[in-house]
Amino acid sequence: MSTSPDLIDTAQCLCLASRRASRAITRAFDRELRAHGLRATQFTLLATLSLKGGQTIGELAEFIVADRTTMTRNVALIEEKGLVEVRQHEDDARVRVVTITAWGRETLAAALASWGEVQGSLTEAMGTSAADGLRRLANSDWARPGARNDIKQGRRETAA
């Protein structure tokens, strides 16, 4: 059905909604993290590396649900700042492993309070149920790469 939706339906656009929300939320975090010289994305990467230990470019990209090429550049920026180190993988010469540095941990620890303030006020402003809903949404399988994203990869083989 619905060969062509009505223009008025676009008022419910999920892309507009998600981008509105992420812009507003990102601005809030960026403002506070700025005092520590971090962007929200960079804070996320440091926190991830601190919690999970060394990660490859691909693992980081998958975790934050971004393109690998995006992660290449995101990592390069925090590497230049000395917040992380990038080494060759021991067994696989293709793989590059990213680890947080001591300076990265220091910066992260210092920024953690600011993060908590924004997280707290945002949670209060939007309500805990909305916050939980957003997290569930972001952790759903459909958001993962490979879910429906491989349609355009050209895998029209018969069975594999």
Partner DNA sequence: GCCTCATAGGTGTAGATACATCCATCTCGT
Partner DNA sequence: ACGAGATGGATGTATCTACACCTATGAGGC
- Positions in the binding site for DNA (CB under 7 A): 19, 23, 26-27, 30-31, 39, 41-42, 56-58, 64-70, 72-75, 77, 86, 91-97, 152
Question: Which stretches of the chain are DSSP H helices?
Answer: 14-33, 40-52, 57-64, 68-80, 102-126, 128-139
Least Cβ distance, residue 19 to DNA (angstroms): 5
Residue ranges in 2-31 that form contacts with its own copies under rule CB under 8 A:
2-5, 7-29, 31
State yes or no: residue 95 binds its own copies (CB under 8 A): no
Q: Are 42 and 77 in contact (CB under 8 A)?
A: yes
Query: 1 or 93, CB closer to DNA?
Result: 93
Q: Is 72 in the site for its own copies (CB under 8 A)?
A: no
With CA atoms as reference, report the closest residue to 81 among 35, 40, 37: 37
Nearest-angstrom CA–CA distance, 48 and 105: 11
